[in-house]
Chain A
Amino acid sequence: MESVLLIKGIIILVIFALSLGIAAYETYFERVIAAYIQDRVGPDRAGPHGILQPLADAGKLFFKEDFVPVMADKWLFIIGPGIAMFTALMSSAVIPFGDTLKIGDLLVPIQGMDVNIGILWVFGVVAMGVYGMLIGGWASNNKYSLYGAIRAASQAISYEIALGLCLLAVILVTGSLSLREIATQQHGINWNVFYQPVGFILFFVCALAECNRTPFDLPETEAELVVGYMTEFGSMKMGLYMFAEYVNMFISSAIMASLYFGAYNYPGMDFVREFLISKLGDTTGHNLATLLGTAVFFLKIFMFIFTFMWIRWTLPRFKYEQLMKLGWQWMVPLAMVNLVVMAVATLSGKPLLVAWLGMGGFLLVYFTGRSMYEKRFN
Chain B
Amino acid sequence: MLTDRSKKTDKSDLSVVEKTYLPGVFKGMAITLKHFFMPKPTIRYPEQKRYLGPVFRGHHILKRDDQGRERCTACGLCAVACPAEAISMVAAERVKGEEHLYREEKYAAAYEINMLRCIFCGLCEEACPKQAIYLRHDKFVPVFTDRHDVIYGKDVLVEDMNNRYNRDAWTKEDMAKLWEKQNA
Residues of chain A touching chain B, judged by Cβ–Cβ distance below 8 Å, are 33, 36-41, 44, 310-311, 313-315, 330, 367, 370-371, 374, 378
Contacts and interface: CB of A to CB of B under 8 A. Distances in A.
Contact of B17 (A37, A38, A311, A367): A367
A220 B166 CA distance: 56
A37 B32 contact: yes
B40 A314 contact: no
B143 interface: no
Interface in B24-45: 25, 28-29, 31-33, 35-36, 38, 40-42, 44
A183 B38 CA distance: 37
B173 interface: no
Contacts of B40: 36, 39-41
B44 A33 contact: no
Interface in B52-70: none
A37 B38 CA distance: 9
B2 interface: no
Nearest to A374: B16
Given A33-B36, A40-B40, 9 more contacts: A36-B35, A37-B35, A38-B35, A39-B41, A41-B42, A314-B31, A314-B32, A315-B28, A378-B13
15 contacts: A36-B35, A36-B36, A37-B36, A39-B40, A40-B40, A41-B42, A41-B44, A310-B33, A310-B36, A314-B31, A330-B20, A367-B16, A370-B16, A371-B15, A378-B13
Nearest to A318: B21
A167 to B, nearest CB: 22
Contact of A313 (B25, B32, B41): B32
- Interchain residue pairs A-B with the least CB separation, the first 8: A314-B32, A371-B16, A41-B42, A370-B16, A37-B32, A36-B36, A314-B28, A314-B29
A314 B35 CA distance: 11
